[in-house]
Amino acid sequence: MMKLAPSILSADFSNLGEDIKTIDKYGADVIHIDVMDGMFVPNISFGVPIMKSIRKFTEKTFDVHLMIEDPARYVEDFVKAGADIITVHYEADRHIDRTIQYIKSLGCKAAIALNPGTPVSVIKDLIPNLDMVLIMSVNPGFGGQKYIDYCSDKIKEVKKLSEKCNPNLLIEVDGGVNKDNIKNVVDCGANVIVAGSAVFKNGEVEKNIKDLREAL
């Protein structure tokens, strides 16, 4: 069963609480929160204080995607702020196994994200201990980018690995997914779809979510 995870990076920041209530009302399964530090990616978004302030607007899962250098420094803060899943980038952490174990020790689900140019093989040994793998299908840092086609093969590769050693693994895809390609992405093996622009465009959240689900 596919889960839809709207990214609030594409929401109206001046009306963030109401936008979260809107996506909750119209069918979001997960709330995807992109945290950017301006170093790992060339953009800055929001951090712990914002997360604390929006947690009260929904009981849906908070999927916190840390696009930051040395993410272990902030894991506990995000857990305390209400994170249910914390995703760290393989490329941003020298001690990725230690960080995954640390996240899980705090009672939070743990995930690893891979940039488009990073091969799936680097996390082969880690997959049995993960709750989710996030395949970035655009280069991280900005919304509204086009889906990178070769990432479909990476989704299939993760799916094969999960079938061997972790059948409950969530496979999330983030970047350029819309009503025209969502079916292909899910058919490749993804079961959590991040959608920012595709959900919030033109302010028609209800219609956009309905279109995404109908495309499947």
Catalytic amino acids?
A: 34, 174
Annotated binding residues, written as ranges, equal 7, 32, 34, 65, 141-144, 174-176, 196-197
Instruction: Please list, residue by residue across 62-81, b when 16 or more beta carbons sit within 10 angstroms of its beta carbon and e when fewer do.
Output: bbbbbbbebbbebbbebbeb
Q: Cα(179)–Cα(194) distance, rounded to whole angstroms?
A: 12
Q: Closest Cα to residue 189, out of 149, 148, 156, 153?
A: 156
Q: What does the pLDDT look like over 2-44, one tens digit per residue? A: 999 999 999 999 999 999 999 999 999 999 999 999 999 999 9
- Closest residue by Cα to residue 92 from 80, 100, 84: 100
Q: Can you tell me which residue has the tokens 């950017």?
A: 36
- Binding-site members for substrate are 7, 65, 141-144, 174-176, 196-197
What CATH number does the domain containing 123 carry? 3.20.20.70
Indicate if the pLDDT at residue 143 is higher than 80.
no
Q: Please, is 140 exposed, middle or buried when counting C-beta atoms within 10 Å of its C-beta (0-12, 13-18, 19+)?
A: buried
How many structural domains is the chain composed of?
Answer: 1
Q: What integer pLDDT is reported at residue 141 of this predicted model?
A: 81
Domain enclosing residue 136, as ranges:
3-214
- Per-residue pLDDT of 90-130, as tens digits, reads 999 999 999 999 999 999 999 999 999 999 999 999 999 99
